[in-house]
Amino acid sequence: MIALKTHGKKIIDIDETSIDKILNVYSDESLGYRSVFVNARNTGELSIADLKAECDKILMPWQLFFLDPTRLDNVIKNIADKRASKFDNKLIASRDNEGHGISLRIADKVIGFQEFALSGITLQNSFCGSLKNSKRDEWAQKIIEHFEIESTILSSGKKEKTLGKLIELVEAKNIRVARGVLANKLLPAENTIRSTYRKSSGFAVRDDKLPYIFLPSEINDNETFGRQILTLVVLLVLIGLDDYSMYVTGNLELYIKSKKSLQQAFGVANEILLPFSETDKYKNTKITETIRDSLADRFMLTPSAVVVTLRQRGLIDSDNDQRALFDSIIPKKADPKHHPRSPKIDTSVRKLCGSATTNDVVWALRTDNLKSIPAQYLIFGCVDKLKFAKFKANVGL
């Protein structure tokens, strides 16, 4: 037992098993090794002030520690059941050798956005599972037609602008898109937690009315705009196949060989992003670094994704040639003279929640259908009056 105290006086005893259960809700973050909880086990006591301060840092409701064991078990079971209803094949617990996988915290957050937004959705989403009844060679065109993707946006302009436009088209068809953010501390800022969700990959959350896509974006250093575009389209393919068993890493093109469904989705995505009509021009031509980079510049793919695509289409003759083209890719470095301003908090919220869901939140607050405390828990994971006041001011509330 650990004595929970205030001003030196014991209020209640908490079973260490209950503490372990609470902290294991986010088992991928190893919260039990944080000094506050280690010291509590060593001394047998914990102050309420220290508990609340620690819970603020890790965005964990401190009230959980006051629940009786039966109530606590029910709360934890509900969280586990909810996750299980949204993903296939124990995806939620899987991680690769490099630690990539789905962050439990981010998964729960996206599920929360989805459940809130569902209140305004009545019809089934016609895209979910729709590719299963079509021939494989029809999938790319069906996606283009369903989401009304004009070819001009995939072959002109900057990738950042194209990503924003694609997300807009996807959300218009009732598939919401959340992106990982580091700015404005909407996710926990503690380094030990950041190290986990920095490796969170792209994934889709099941729902027949309102599926939700998560793109790592800011939280993963490898997530260029080209990678995010590819991840977004791959996840659309998987939603069309009613397949929620895959996560998509930033280096998807290096891992697809071992997973047939990812290989298939990657191929369809690249038919959309790099049409055969363009690559057919290079038949009987040795693919050079110049050709690779030209295609990456003109279309919405990274150089490495271009290389794998050309290899799949038989335009690169061997694995050795593919490797040489991989090895010669020079990562683009950030401009040292470019210091972007920190985004406004409403910009970060719109990115994290999804633009359409943020609009729903603003409308619900304006019509008093969503109170301030639940809104803060939904957006921030805790009560933060200062951030919430800034958000409301920026959106005209």
- Per-residue model confidence (pLDDT) at position 338: 44
Least confident of 58-67, 189-198, 361-370: 189-198
How far, CA to CA in Å, does 204 sit from each of 63, 112, 196, 244?
Answer: 30, 14, 19, 6
Give pairs for 362-368: CB < 8 Å, separation 24+: 362/395, 362/397, 365/392, 365/397, 366/397
* Average pLDDT of span 356-375: 95
User: What are φ and ψ of residue 102, in 5° steps?
Assistant: -105, 125
The partner residues of 203 in beta bridges, in order of sequence, read 214
Within 10 angstroms of residue 75's Cβ, the number of other Cβ atoms is 16
- Per-residue model confidence (pLDDT) at position 325: 92
Termini Cα distance of the chain: 47
pLDDT confidence tier of residue 208, bands split at 50, 70 and 90: very high
CB–CB of 179/245 below 8 Å?
no
- Per-residue model confidence (pLDDT) at position 250: 62
The residue ranges of every structural domain in the chain are 2-83, 91-327
User: What are 34's two structure tokens?
Assistant: 């944080």
The number of C-alpha atoms within 13 Å of 331 and in the hemisphere containing its C-beta is 7
The amino acid occupying position 41 is: R
* CA-CA-CA-CA dihedral for 25, 202, 81, 175, to nearest 10: 140
The size of the chain, in residues, is 397
Give pairs for 362-367: CB < 8 Å, separation 24+: 362/395, 362/397, 365/392, 365/397, 366/397
Helix 16-23 vs helix 35-43: angle between axes, to the nearest 10 degrees? 170
Q: Is the pLDDT reported for residue 262 higher than 90?
A: no
Q: Is the pLDDT reported for residue 397 higher than 70?
A: yes
How far, CA to CA in Å, does 157 sit from each of 77, 154, 225?
Answer: 48, 8, 12
- H or E element at residue 177: strand 176-179
- Residues 49-60 have pLDDT tens digits of 998 999 888 888
* CA-CA-CA-CA dihedral for 58, 370, 348, 147, to nearest 10: 120
User: What are φ and ψ of residue 271, in 5° steps?
Assistant: -65, -35
User: What are φ and ψ of residue 9, in 5° steps?
Assistant: -105, 135
- Per-residue model confidence (pLDDT) at position 381: 86
- Per-residue model confidence (pLDDT) at position 339: 44
- Per-residue model confidence (pLDDT) at position 94: 64
Q: Is the pLDDT reported for residue 88 higher than 80?
A: no
* Average pLDDT of span 70-95: 84
Closest CA to 174 of 117, 248, 241, 233: 117
The amino acid occupying position 216 is: P
